[in-house]
Amino acid sequence: MDDTLRPEKHVGRSILRFILRLMAVLLSTAGVLALLLLCAIFIICRGGSESARDYFVRSVKETSAIGFLADIFLSPAEVDAIVNPPVLELEEKTDTSLVAVSQPEKHEDGPQPDAWGYVDEDEDGLILVPIKGGSYSGYMLIVLDPSRVVLGCKPESIADKGYTVQQYVEMVDGVAGINGGGFVDPNGMGDGSVPDTLIVTGGKMYNGGSGVGKGFVGIDSDYILHVGFKSTEDVREWDIQEGCGYGPILVINGEMVPEENLKSGLNPRTAIGQRSDGAILMLVIEGRQPGRLGASYVDEAELMLRFGAVNACNLDGGSSTMMWFNGEYINNSASVIGIRPIPTSFVVLKEGRNGNG
């Protein structure tokens, strides 16, 4: 029988033609979308609005994966001027007299609002507050006893392995945690094992040769949170027991740092701070999602002040931003490859180290 008359031959050729046409349509569509994206980037970068350009450049450069988009229509010098503008040198150091660590009071007639209006309904020493802004949503966790907060890390695994926030919390049988400092992350493919600043846990210093970064944050033996470090010597002088670096500093001694130091794009964010009564504030902001691009450094600073922060510092953000609370992650990850391993986290213990729960 002549093959040209076989029905299956016609069917096979029809399927092949369909697949080829579909591939052509998909490739054409992808080409059009890529062209539209390039046009949009060109308009943002060269369209005359410096604020839109700067927000775009800072937002993409704060990521490891898509930072190259800023380089398409801008020179390296132009990008550097946007990403690394001149900042004011902060001469202030943490004024410990502004923080008086106190233990939460229990009232006979049930939980009462604290001085900032928040209520520990189940009296577990933790208050979780959902927050929402124009471009973001997230959570603020208030830890009433600062002695419950430690740095989650595994010093023996430095340069070998990173762990998730959940794993750090489980290592110490804790109840909550947020991601901590930054790490060496070439092309967004780092394994979270190598911190890029000094870290301190249990009063011992590790990776000291990397310095304190753009903003180190540490808790001393009196459970007071410090910012404003200049060097490793400051960390030693202030008797820091738990800490890591990232930055920038957001609030120091009750005042937001100058806005010149807080220029940024919109991205997922993590921050830590402390109120005047000693309570630790842990903030996570979602971003890179429809309707929720993220927050700026100024947004973070304003949120910290709203919740009573005396001192506060930005931590690693983007795809690292995660909060583990009572057995689950409560925010959505911005990572396309799943929850990222990291070198450090701030973990909340079940009970305080000073004997209080």
Residue 236 pLDDT > 80: yes
Residue 173 pLDDT > 60: yes
Confidence of residue 7 (pLDDT cuts 50, 70, 90): low
Mean pLDDT of 63-86: 86
Residue 85 pLDDT: 86
Q: Where are the alpha helices (DSSP H) in the chain?
A: 7-46, 50-61, 76-83, 165-171, 232-237, 297-306
Residue 2 pLDDT: 53
pTM (2 decimals)?
0.88
Mean pLDDT of 307-314: 98
- pLDDT, tens digit (0-9, with 9 covering 90-100), for 139-165: 999 999 999 999 999 999 888 999 999
Coil/strand/helix, residue 10: helix
DSSP letter for each residue of 48-92? S-HHHHHHHHHHHHTSSSSGGGGGSSS-HHHHHHHHS---PPP--
Residue 225 pLDDT: 98
To the nearest whole number, what is the mean pLDDT of the chain? 90
CA nearest to 199, candidates 167, 156, 165: 156
Give the whole-number percent of the chain exceeding pLDDT 70: 96
Mean pLDDT of 82-104: 88
Instruction: Select the more confidently predicted residue: 199 or 70.
Output: 199
206-238: b or e for each residue (b if 16 or more CB lie within 10 Å)? bbeebbbbbbbbbbbeebbbbbbbeebebbeeb
